[in-house]
Amino acid sequence: MTEIKQTMADVQAEAKRCLYCVDAPCRKGCPAGVDVAQFIRHLRYEDVKSAKRVIKTANPLGGICGTLCPSENLCQKNCTMNYCGAPIRIRDLQKFACANAAYAPELAPASGKKAAVVGAGPAGLGCAAMLARLGHEVDVFEKDAAAAGVVAREIPAQRIDAAVVENDLAELACGRIRFHYNTPVTPQKLEELKQEYAAVFVGAGLAQDRMSGVDIAEGAPVAGCSQYLAGLKSGKTKAVSGTVLVVGGGDSAIDAVCASLEAGAEKAVLAYRRSRAEMPACDEEFFAAAGKGVELMYMVSPVAVAKTADGGAAVTFVRNRLVEKPGEARRGFEAVPGSEFTLNAALVVFAIGKKADAALVAGTPDRDTLRVAGTNCFVGGDWLNGGATVVQAVAEGKRAAAAMDALMK
């Protein structure tokens, strides 16, 4: 779907297509609960400030989500206009509203209570913003030197401008939010926070790239996707060359192949174990990658990575076939015997998910309140859901903030 031009005339034309449904299905498709029909109605009448207020009241990271959300699988998927043409381009309208108006959140009177948030990623920021609006002082502890987690650290600049992130951070009600950067939280430190603060939220994210299931020779040129993208974005990795082979099928894998080409790779190859129909990457990112010349390999899985004489990688793959799994919507796969083949690359990047530091929080959080039983500790974001979308993380941060507010009253 082509992005609409970011002018008032084009935005108004798109907004006029909206049916402004009662009990709008698009709102139900938004994890953060943004009143989509309402903000689009404001845009129709050039009231950009009110449109932004509707968005940001529900989603403190509205600008980031207006840039990165896989809307084709969320609000736009539910749009009634799918039945009579094309869906309203909701994400583009949200992006325009958040970029073209000022916003300051409404703050409840000071409660005198203090809460701690571990992690300044989308879940932690969503939680901190809502707690501040509810009247509480919030201390945010972040191991990195900046906020916004993977958005700031890993997602390429070609996908999101730093100004979008900075604008959302500036509108968080920062008078009640204090950030403590370069401050990792250990299990011992977490116990201290639980004693010092009335409530604690842990949204520390996923710390380690998964590299399991593949026999990797010592010294073979391999990297985890998060490590690789962070190096490119920070400038620690100046350039790449030769063929970069990325294993995976999600949006991070797409980011890695596209960023590789931007950084100088002669060729970028994406290898995915299932078919395109099962690939989790959203269509928009997929087609953008294909348009840049990324080579696509479906139905293959790596089984071993050897180091070549010139310091490169020789990756042994096996071909797969899809199999139906009773009771599951998504098809599984199995290796085809005798189908092994080898592909050489200068670097192999694994984008097959991440794992959390499970030792940080003891106990299982309640799925509704996100509270760990018998404690004043709450958990959300990628640490809990295994790595989802930015808007899902924000929604969990909001949900935890509501439960923390109830506990502190």
> In this predicted model, what pLDDT tens digit does every residue of 137-172 receive, in sequence order?
999 999 999 999 999 999 999 999 999 999 999 999
Give every residue of the chain whose pLDDT is below 50, as ranges: none
Query: C-alpha distances in angstroms, 223 versus 231, 235, 254, 256?
Result: 10, 16, 15, 11
The predicted pLDDT at position 358 comes to 61
Retrieve residue 156's tokens: 């390429």
The predicted pLDDT at position 102 comes to 95
The predicted pLDDT at position 405 comes to 98
CATH code given to domain 8-99: 1.10.1060.10
Q: Where in the chain is the domain with CATH 1.10.1060.10?
A: 8-99
pTM as predicted: 0.94
Q: Tokens 């507010």, residue?
A: 405
User: Which top CATH class is 114-207+356-408?
Assistant: alpha beta
Closest CA to 267 of 204, 347, 205: 347
The predicted pLDDT at position 328 comes to 80
The predicted pLDDT at position 2 comes to 60
Q: CA–CA separation, 248 vs 135, rounded Å?
A: 43
What phi and psi, each to the nearest 5 degrees, are found at residue 168? -65, -40
The predicted pLDDT at position 363 comes to 87
Closest CA to 201 of 118, 113, 111: 118
The predicted pLDDT at position 385 comes to 80
Does domain 209-353 sit in CATH 3.30.1540.10? no
The predicted pLDDT at position 326 comes to 85
Q: Where in the chain is the domain with CATH 3.50.50.60?
A: 114-207+356-408, 209-353
Retrieve residue 111's tokens: 């409660």
Long-range contacts of 185-188 (CB under 8 A, 24+ apart): 185/118, 185/141, 185/143, 185/360, 186/360, 187/359, 187/360, 187/362
The predicted pLDDT at position 356 comes to 75
